[in-house]
Structure formats: C-alpha cells, structure tokens
Structure 1
C-alpha cells in the first residue's frame, strides 16, 4: 500500500467516524438527552453488573477460537481471553471498521510460539464460525419476534430476509448447474498452491479444515456466546428497570447485532445501533428514551471494557515473545 492509499484510507475512516458521531448527536438531540441522562443515572452501581455480564460472552468466544489452534501448541485460555478483550477494544474504540482487532490479535498470538500463518488462519476461520453463529442467532431472534409480536415491520423484515436467502440459494443452484463449482474449485486450488509457496498460510488452512470436529465445536461455542449476549441484554434491561423477559432480551440482542452488521463500516456502529433500537423499539414496548438509554448503557460497557483492553494491549506488546518455531513461516509480529 502506498502512502497516498494509506492517507485516503485514513481519510475515509475519519469521515465514517464523523458521520457516526453526527448521527448519534442528532438522535440524542431529537429524543431528549436530559431524559436519557436521568435514566442512565438511575442505573448506578448496577452498571457494574452490566459490564460483568459481558464477560461470559467473551469467554465463550475465546474458547471457540482456542479449539481451532494447533492442539499441541495452544496458548493458555487466560492469554487468549486477554487477546479477545484487546480485539473487542480495538474494534469498539478505534476507527478500524471492525477488522483491525482481528489483525491485532493474530499478531499478538504469535508471541506464544504460534506461527503467523497458524494464528492468521485460526482468526479467519474463527470469524467465519462466529458469522455463521450470528446468522442463525439473528434468524432465531427474528422468528421469536414474529411469533410473539404482532408488528408489520417485523413481518416485512422477515420476508425481506427470506427473499435474500432464496436469492442466494437460487444463485448457488444456477452456479452448480453451470458447472461453476468445478471452476471455483480449480481456482481455489491454484490460490492454495500460491499461498503454500508464499508461506505456510495454505497449509495452516488445510490443517484446520481437516479437523472438522474442532470447527463444529468452534461454531457451538460461538452460538453459546451469542446466547450469552442475550443474557447480557437482559441484565441491561433489568438495570434500567424495564422488567424484561428472556424472550424480549433475545429479540433486542438480535436487533442490536443486526444494526452492528449494517453499520459495519462505521467505527463502533455509532448512531446506527441507536437508530436500530429506535426503529423497532416501539414494537418491543420501549419508549424512545428507554431504547436510547439501553443503547447508551451498552456503549458504557464497551467503553469500560475497551479501556481495559487497550491497557492490556499496551502491556502485552511490551512482553517478550516466545521463540518462533519456524522463522520463515512465522513472519513479522
């Protein structure tokens, strides 16, 4: 990447961050920042419970990553948990469009004797397993919403999602009939061969792919993490005095994760997450003030754990790395 391209990328991220901050400011101004401050102030010490309720989410996701690493050289769970906190902090607080944290944790994992290829491949597969879990979780939350709530907006969202899935399935069927699968497979083999010549990345992917049981376990742990996220939302709603049910928390968490996906390019999904809460908050029985307060309480948790994660990042970078098993395969951390 040239200096000019780097400057353009940085400028684009800066504009996206500005848009997110502006959108959040507009939402706060139009829905009463004073009322929101009063609601959040009532939470008091219970905000600590909201922060603590996120730790199981991070723990389950960490185990989902650990099972993908080489069985004979897996770093300890506490170390990987630390890296997961760092990854979440980078994605939540820095203008990196939700991907910078993956790069950071992949490089830091090398400090415990993994090669950069092994670390990178595990992070990529971990993200894919988490994404599959997220899709199923969002579908489950939408199904619950359609069954328990009678709101046309939810029905429209469900039909749209079904339509998108149908289009994808139809495209895959047509591609299969056209023999595109064989061509893609040949292209994939060529890229794998290139990756193998460049370094050990291709071999690392093949090693993970051969351990299907571990991939399935990773997906299961990520599903547990998404479900734990619903419990975190339940605690947040309880702290705001909303007297929620677990089904309501499941729906709200699915909505929040969908909004974060929509606002992927905006750092922290600033403004987009709040807009998502407002958009369907009425169908969930939340007033605009309550919907925004719930989102701001989530932001408070992100800032608190994010600050801890950034401190851990600094201390981890200062630690001496373990000797690399293969210098050529490891690369630069």
Structure 2
C-alpha cells in the first residue's frame, strides 16, 4: 500500500510539473503576482470552513458523551490537524482521523465516544460531500452547452451514490468493529496492546446509538454543508483577484467537483496533480483561461501548505510538551 501511495504521489508530482511547463511557468507566475498580497488572506479565511466543520463534529461528540463539554476552539484546532494530516501527509485520508482520536483524548477520556463521533462524522461528511457534488453537477449542467458531456457527469454521480449509503447501512446494521477486534485477536493474540485498545462491541453500540439521533445527524450535516459553501468563497475571491471574476454558482461547481475528485483519488498524496488537472478541466468547461485555472489551483495548493504546516507543527509542539512532562514526572 505504501509503495502505491508513493508511486501515485510521484506520478502526480510529475503530472503537475508537466502542466506548469505546458502552460508556461512565467505566465502563471505573472498571473499570481498580479493577484497581489491579498491572496494571502485566503490563509486565515480558511479558518471559517473548519470552524463550521468543527461545530458539526461538536454536535456529534456532545451527543455521544453528554458528560463531556469540549470547547469549540479546541475541536477547531484538532480539526486543523486532521485536515493537515489528510491533505499533506501520505496517509490515504485515514491518518487524520486517527490523529483526531489521539488529540481529542487530551480533553476527553472516553475513547469510545470520541471514536464513535469521528466515525459517524466521516459518514455525515460522505453525504454532505455527495449533496455538495450533486449541487455542483447540476450547476455545471446548466452552464454547459454539450448535454452529452453533462449527462456523463450526472451518471457518474448517480453511480457513486451507493458508497455513502452502504457505509451508513454497515454502521447501522453490522458489527464492524467487533469483527475487527476478533480479527486483531486472531492476528496478534489476545494479549496484544493493539487488541486492548479495541472494544468493538461497545464502539458498535455507541455508533448505532449516535446514528439513531436523527436531529443531531441533520444538524451535523447542515454544519458540514455550510462549511463547504464557506470554502467556495475561497475560489470566488481568488478568481476575482486573479483577474477572472466568476459568479458564485460557478465557484460552487469548481469547488464541489474538485473536492469530489480528491476524495475519489484518496490514494494520491495531497491529491498532487489530480486537483490541478480537475480545476483546469472545470475551468475549461466554464470558460476560464487555462493559465488562470492553473494559477487558481496553485494558489489553492499554496493555501493548503501555508495553513496546514503550522497545524502540523503545533501538533508536534503539543506532543513534545507531553513528552517532557511525562519524562519529568516522578515514577
């Protein structure tokens, strides 16, 4: 699996290099320079979509463990680390959730409640992503003159619907984590440390209980969709600064389908090459100049790095402080 991830990342980097070379690195750099320092505002602005996401997660976490009240600021910080791990590190989009469980235990001690809230949040995100992508496809169909291409995109979206549905049904009716616990016992032995961390039956029960709370699920879904829409403002604002302003609905189409492509290509580290190619394709369909589209993709990539790297560094700083406290504590 690691070899596939590294190989796909290398191929993505090669593809990105070819795209920049084909469109002209100097021309792309000029367009970005014309955008000016205001493009840097995209970095702090990204805190808003993550804050909305964190609020959706907080709804689920509070429901899973009513006795604990984690602050929104703390959960927002954990959300920044989760996103940075998934987007910048070769973890196949699962490392962020594991890091989130680990960090949330700094404030909440019920690991089962934390894990249940994150698993259900992933399920809610799949549905929010699907609805957001459906909105983007419908807007793209309205903008395209070639109905054949539009219906191909719509067919692909329809064929992907079983993924979130099957995931939700498996969480609701199957003892997934109890089976994982049994598999871990057979593989590592009952006394292994990893097996001791898994209480499959309790976790499955907590996930089913959380899935039965439809009000909390709907609230989390609404917060997730609000986060996606807030993220669209980045595309709209960046294109305006890059000299090609577009209506907000076109920004929704670009952002939603770019996000969908990154989820499909989860095995490509940071979506290298994939994100840029999709942004250029969507820009072409919507009449955006290829060089402007590539500039937008690179600005988006730079924002991910400038926002994500400090989040990763803050995580390492917290871990270093914990290590020092534990080393200094009397045994």
Same fold (TM over 0.5): yes
Gaps of at least 5 residues in structure 2 are 182-197, 324-331
Pairing 1:65–2:60 present: no
- Distance in 2, matches of 1:254 and 1:205, equals 28
> Residues 21 and 186 (structure 1 numbering): CA distance in 2 closer, same or farther, change over 3 Å?
closer
- The answer for the alignment partner of 1:132 in structure 2 is 127
Pairing 1:100–2:86 present: no
Larger RCO of the pair (alpha carbons < 8 Å, separation 6+): 1
TM-score of the superposition, structure 2-length normalised? Answer: 0.82
Aligned residues: 301
What SS does the aligned partner of 1:150 have? Answer: coil
Once the two structures are overlaid, the 10-residue window that deviates more, 268-277 or 145-154, is 145-154
Gaps of at least 5 residues in structure 1 are 1-8, 173-180, 322-333
- The answer for the alignment partner of 1:46 in structure 2 is 38
- Distance in 2, matches of 1:187 and 1:258, equals 27
Q: Once superposed, which parts of structure 1, at least 4 consecutive aligned residues long, lie more than 4 Å away?
A: 184-187, 189-199
- The answer for the alignment partner of 2:312 in structure 1 is 310
Deviation at 1:313, TM superposition (A): 0.9
- The answer for the alignment partner of 1:287 in structure 2 is 289
What SS does the aligned partner of 1:26 have? Answer: helix
- The answer for the alignment partner of 2:20 in structure 1 is 28
Deviation at 1:186, TM superposition (A): 11
CA-based RMSD of the aligned residues comes to 2.8
- The answer for the alignment partner of 1:150 in structure 2 is 145
TM-score of the superposition, structure 1-length normalised? Answer: 0.82
- The answer for the alignment partner of 1:91 in structure 2 is 86
What SS does the aligned partner of 1:95 have? Answer: coil
Deviation at 1:126, TM superposition (A): 0.7
Contact 1:90–1:96 under 8 Å retained in 2: yes
> Residues 194 and 102 (structure 1 numbering): CA distance in 2 closer, same or farther, change over 3 Å?
closer
Contact 1:61–1:225 under 8 Å retained in 2: yes
What SS does the aligned partner of 2:257 have? Answer: helix
Contact 1:65–1:126 under 8 Å retained in 2: yes
